Amino acid sequence: MKTDLDQAQLNSSATKHPVLKTVAAIIAGFVTWILVASILNFPLRAWWPHYHEAETAFSFTLGMKLARLALGAAASLCSGFVAAWIAKRHQAAMYLGILLLALFIPNHYLLWDKFPVWYHLTFLVSLFPLTLLGAMLKLPGGRVRTLIPVQNSA
């Protein structure tokens, strides 16, 4: 059983370096995005006939494009979850979402002619909110909470 002193020490150590913890959470979230996307991409390459060839030539079928969007959504959810888990606050996931957008917008600009507009917009528009949603799934105590506090008008 934890004493009040133990709890105070835990709270103190958790708040000593919030900036470093947030930066670590952002880095871990980014690494998580890459790992989840890579791990989920392996079965697509292995089990989907001609997927690997389509990947190298950027000639995906509609089903392949939808699978890639689902893969990106899962990676975004997981990365936001990890960032919130490490930082114990939603700001890390917000900064992670901004970082992901900053990194993916130039890539999608370079690939703009390789995919239809709906594909780029679906990926880019969903990147930030899905990262935040992942964070909402893991906040202190494991409870789902909203990121923006609701104020009573009364």
Please state the pTM of the whole predicted model: 0.79
Q: pLDDT at position 88, please?
A: 87
Domain locations along the chain: 18-141
CA distance 149 to 154: 15
Place of tokens 């150590």: 13
Instruction: Using the predicted structure, report yes or no on whether residue 152 has a pLDDT greater than 80.
Output: no
CA distance 109 to 72: 17
Alpha-carbon separation of residue 54 from 39, 68, 69, 72, 117 (angstroms):
18, 12, 15, 17, 18
Q: pLDDT at position 151, please?
A: 62
The answer to whether 23 and 91 have CB atoms below 8 angstroms apart is: no
3-class DSSP assignment, residue 57: helix
Q: Using one digit for the tens of pLDDT, what is the confidence trace for 36-80?
A: 999 999 999 999 999 999 999 999 999 999 999 999 999 999 999
pLDDT band at 89; cut points 50, 70, 90: confident
The tokens for 30 are 């980014």
CA distance 21 to 83: 10
